[in-house]
A and B are shown apart, each in its own frame.
Chain A
Amino acid sequence: DTGVSQNPRHKITKRGQNVTFRCDPISEHNRLYWYRQTLGQGPEFLTYFQNEAQLEKSRLLSDRFSAERPKGSFSTLEIQRTEQGDSAMYLCASSLAQGGPIAYEQYFGPGTRLTVT
């Protein structure tokens, strides 16, 4: 399977705990994105990487959120001191940007559903 994979698929945690999600992009893709989707909404952009460099972060990404992409391959998204409002589907996507700022089609993984109790 050469698609985008995410682990775990589901995570239930208690408020105040830290959680970490992993995304493995399509191997030749140099861009990796994180989105969050809540009920009744479309995915909302959180952050993206080009190779290992984090190029943009949304204002939705509070100080409790941190993302990394060491070596420009897989990425992790960590949420510290989780709150009930963090409950959402966290989606990862990857794409291939060739020389310009725009990378058109993004390929999405199945997402990690986080429930904070």
Chain B
Amino acid sequence: DQQVKQNSPSLSVQEGRISILNCDYTNSMFDYFLWYKKYPAEGPTFLISISSIKDKNEDGRFTVFLNKSAKHLSLHIVPSQPGDSAVYFCVGGSEKLVFGKGTKLTVNP
């Protein structure tokens, strides 16, 4: 069963606009959630995380929102930059990480 779901395989936005990446989860036992970014030929790199007891975490241009009642989280990138173009993984965390399938973000100049 897929515990972390990213239903949009791709997203395209214009430079300077907001990018919103969405994620749903089924496992209520996750202690925290993370977003990882992956460029081709590289391993995933940590971007931002949120504890399961919080509803928002912000770090510069990146904000993650957690709606526990809906079992939904989202990553907002404002403003989007061409260098943000990558695959973004939504991840549920406890002792190990459970990854979604990823969303490929393309930011057009």
Contacts and interface: CB of A to CB of B under 8 A. Distances in A.
Given A41-B101, A42-B102, A48 B46 contact: no
Contacts of B94: 101-102
Main secondary structure, interface of A, reads: loop
Interface in B14-59: 31-32, 34, 36, 41-46, 49
**Chain B interface secondary structure, helix, strand, loop or mixed?**
strand
Given A33-B96, A56-B95, A105 B34 contact: yes
A102 B41 contact: no
Contacts of B4: 42
Contact of A42 (B46, B89, B96): B89
B11 interface: no
Contacts of A33: 96-97
Contacts of A42: 4, 89, 91, 99-102
Interface string B74-97: 000000000000000101011111
Given A42-B89, A42-B102, A45-B97, A104 B42 contact: no
Interface of A: 4, 33, 35, 40-45, 48, 55-56, 91, 93, 101-111
Contacts of B43: 4, 91, 93, 108-111
Given A48-B95, A105-B49, 13 more contacts: A42-B91, A42-B102, A43-B44, A44-B99, A45-B96, A45-B97, A45-B98, A93-B43, A104-B34, A105-B46, A108-B45, A110-B41, A111-B43
A35 B41 CA distance: 15
Contacts of A43: 44, 89, 97, 99
B15 to A, nearest CB: 27
Contacts of B98: 45
